[in-house]
Amino acid sequence: MTWADRVSPLVKSIPPSGIRRFFDIVAEMKGVISLGVGEPDFITPWHIRESCIHGLHRGYTAYTSNLGLLELREEIVRLLARDYQVTYDPRKEVLVTVGVSEAFDLAMRAVLSPGDEVLVPEPCYVSYKACVTLAGGKPIPVPTTIENEFRLTPAELEAYITPRTKVLVIGYPNNPTGAVMTREELAQIAAFVKKHDLIVISDEIYGRLTYEGTHTCFASLPDMRDRTILLNGFSKAYAMTGWRLGYACSNPDFIAAMTKIHQYTMLCAPITAQVAAIEALKNGEASVDKMVTEYNRRRRLMLNGFREMGLTCFEPKGAFYIFPSIKETGMDSLSFAETLLKEEKVALVPGNAFGDSGEGYVRCSYATSAANLAEALERIGRFVRKRLS
């Protein structure tokens, strides 16, 4: 028996991330413009970094409470009340986690029993289905389409309900499409959720990066607060991916269950990041606004660029991704991405990495400089023109 034979079958059943595999190849190449990675090209604003340094000077180097620093939880609660009019008790309804990544995993493990079904709208962030599977659940992909601007509808969801359905995952603004949903549209989803007595896990990590309309926090909809596990974090809006900090808010029972797992597996989120996050929430608004303005400028550049090439391109309204169709070229998304990388040295992510309904699209991140984006558009344009003519 080899060592590989002894790896858990559950772990073996999960495919490796399509994004990682691709970027291992890119890392070996020279002169590549990468539109692949989903992280801000900005460094964390100086005042946030400085607060961490001050914290270290003052000796903040120990474990915190399992839930996270109370001052941070209070700031989180204040932000959610101010921006989304949803209120939580910082002492028992907020858990500070190691990114939204940990929070999502905890949420799944806290509520799922073996075989429970989780509705996962696609295309979606690559971790969702894997975390459901690892928690013993069964991910049920629910396709969303460009015709409906990658939004969810109760009618579409209805077709996937079974007696085992327990959870619905929502992720707007969406990675990889950049789609958002309005309050009215989400209210229809809320009615569906109530009708089927579901739990919602709402990943709102891109909520602050909304360029048109305003972000609706799902938990702020009537009757949704207690049945929703709201996830958010610092990686995207505050350019803090490497700090590894996020949080979950929900009813005290769900938070207690998540904390039970967190206290054994993680103990607490890093104190350095927690100290910095307090500063981010207290004084970070102007820095975030500046980054949002810049992303918005790049969003327009990319949208125009792809449309000028003759590709169908859905207008993203949030996050920092654009998801043009490449169906017009007659190529599938993987061969488009691989051939583009070889011929023009531009790296992007094939849409099928985000689920079957992502096939026919590629995801480009515009979290890179406008100069890089302009050069990338030129190269992609040259590549596409050869295929269209």
Classified as helix, coil or strand, 168 is strand
Q: Pairing state of beta strands 362-365 and 321-322?
A: antiparallel
Tell me how far apart the alpha carbons of residues 182 and 259 are, in angstroms, rounded to a whole number.
32
Q: Which of 33, 80, 95, 205 binds ligand PLP (CB under 6 A)?
A: 205
Tokens of 35: 């539109």
Among 100, 179, 277, 281, binds ligand PLP (CB under 6 A): 100
3-state secondary structure 228-260: EEEEEECCCCCCCHHHCCEEEECCHHHHHHHHH
Q: Could you tell me which stretch among 2-10, 40-48, 87-95, 233-241 binds ligand PLP (CB under 6 A)?
A: 233-241
| Size of the residue set binding ligand PLP (CB under 6 A) | 13
> Is 346 in a helix, a strand, or coil?
strand
235 binds ligand PLP (CB under 6 A): yes
Q: Which stretch binds ligand PLP (CB under 6 A): 78-86, 98-106, 291-299, 366-374?
A: 98-106
Instruction: By CB under 6 A, tell whether 316 contacts ligand PLP.
Output: no
Closer Cβ to ligand PLP, 101 or 165, answer by number: 101
Residue 175 C-beta: closest distance to ligand PLP, Å? 4
Query: Distance between CA atoms of 199 and 193, rounded to whole angstroms?
Result: 7
Residue 235 Cβ, how far from ligand PLP at the closest point, in Å?
Answer: 3
**Of residues 90, 233, 284, 351, which one binds ligand PLP by CB under 6 A?**
233
Cα–Cα distance measured from residue 55 to residue 191, given in angstroms and rounded to the nearest whole number = 45
109 SS3 class: helix
- Select the residue interacting with ligand PLP from 40, 45, 68, 99 (CB under 6 A): 99
Q: Is residue 44 a contact residue for ligand PLP (CB under 6 A)?
A: no
| Beta bridge partner(s), residue 364 | 322
Interaction between residue 321 and ligand PLP (CB under 6 A): no
Q: Which of 22, 125, 172, 323 binds ligand PLP (CB under 6 A)?
A: 125
246 or 344: whose CB is closer to ligand PLP? 246
Q: Assess contact for 232 and 100: CB atoms under 8 A.
A: yes
171 binds ligand PLP (CB under 6 A): yes
Helix (H) or strand (E) holding 17: none
Other C-beta atoms within 10 Å of 355: how many?
23
Q: Least separation, in Å, of the C-beta of 125 and ligand PLP?
A: 4
CA–CA separation, 71 and 336 (whole Å): 48
Give me the residue label for tokens 């926090």. 217
- Closest residue to ligand PLP, judged by C-beta, is 99
Binding site for ligand PLP (CB under 6 A): 38, 99-101, 125, 171, 175, 203, 205, 233, 235, 241, 246
